[in-house]
Amino acid sequence: MVLRVCLDVNVWIAYLLALQHSRVGTAPMRLVAMVQACAAGTIPLQLMVSQEMLGTLERVLKRQGLPDHLAEGFPHAVEGLMQVGPEKLQPALLTAGRDQLAMTDREDAGVLAFCMADRVDLLVTDNLSDFVTNDSERRDTQRVSRRDGTTRQLSVLIHERLDGVSLAVAHPIDAVLWLAAGFRPIPASLRLRYP
């Protein structure tokens, strides 16, 4: 069964920065490699992205000083990865849903609404707190060491609707760990793994 994965804009930016500085093996680099392969081990992966996210990615890249042809070309490459996935999908245009979510950031609400509407299984982001809602469930996953010697507590957010649609929102480090081990981050499995 295909696992639908959405990489937040910050993960794509982190990937490009790692590429620019030749930092191989980072979580964003590994995630993008899995998406390019359309699989993580035996789990088939389908990249999911919305038109709005592609537009945001282009704006961020231009704001960071990338030449227009690169800032415009990279989102097209991301779109191409979605189109060659197992389900061969086109980026969705979300027209409603964000206003029903009690979130302060309208753009993040759009990402969450898109993920729920298009039945994304896993949203990967470095800004987990941006996707907390009143009905999301948080589970601590692991503590990781930072370069400066401090530690950071990672967690996963579980969003579930009454109709059975669910979404896990996780940090890139957790996502890579799970996917590399063949672990599907569905609510029941996450609750067992992180009681």
Under a CB-based contact definition with an 8 Å cutoff, are residues 92 and 50 in contact?
yes
pTM of the predicted protein model: 0.91
Q: Could you tell me where the DSSP H helices lie in the chain? A: 9-20, 27-37, 51-63, 68-83, 106-117, 172-180, 187-193
The per-residue pLDDT for range 104-163, each reduced to its tens digit, is: 667 888 899 899 989 999 999 999 999 998 889 999 999 999 888 899 999 999 999 888
Q: 90 to each of 48, 66, 76, 112, how far by Cα in Å?
A: 9, 25, 11, 18
Residue whose tokens read 């996502």: 175
Rounded CA separation 6/159 (Å) = 14
Domain boundaries, the chain: 3-193
pLDDT in tens, 46-90: 999 999 999 999 999 999 888 888 889 999 999 999 999 999 988
DSSP letter at 2?
P
Q: Please tell me the distance from the alpha carbon of residue 47 to that of residue 34, in angstroms, as a whole number.
A: 10
* Number of other residues whose CB lies within 10 A of the CB of residue 72: 13
Inform me whether the pLDDT recorded for 97 exceeds 60. no
Fold classification of 3-193 is: Rossmann fold (3.40.50)
Tell me what pLDDT residue 107 has. Answer: 80
Asked whether residue 92 carries a pLDDT value surpassing 90, the answer given is no
**Crossing angle, helix 172-180 and helix 27-37, to 10 degrees?**
50
Report residue 20's pLDDT band, with 50, 70 and 90 as the boundaries.
confident
Is residue 101 over pLDDT 60? no
Q: Looking at the predicted structure, is the pLDDT value of residue 102 above 70?
A: no
3-state secondary structure (DSSP) of residue 131:
helix
- For the segment 26-32, the average pLDDT, to the nearest whole number, is 96
Tell me the pLDDT of the chain averaged across its residues.
90
Residue found under tokens 């590429």: 19
- pLDDT computed for residue 172 by the predictor: 97
Is residue 153 a contact partner of residue 14, using CB atoms and an 8 Å limit? Answer: no
The pLDDT value given to residue 94: 56
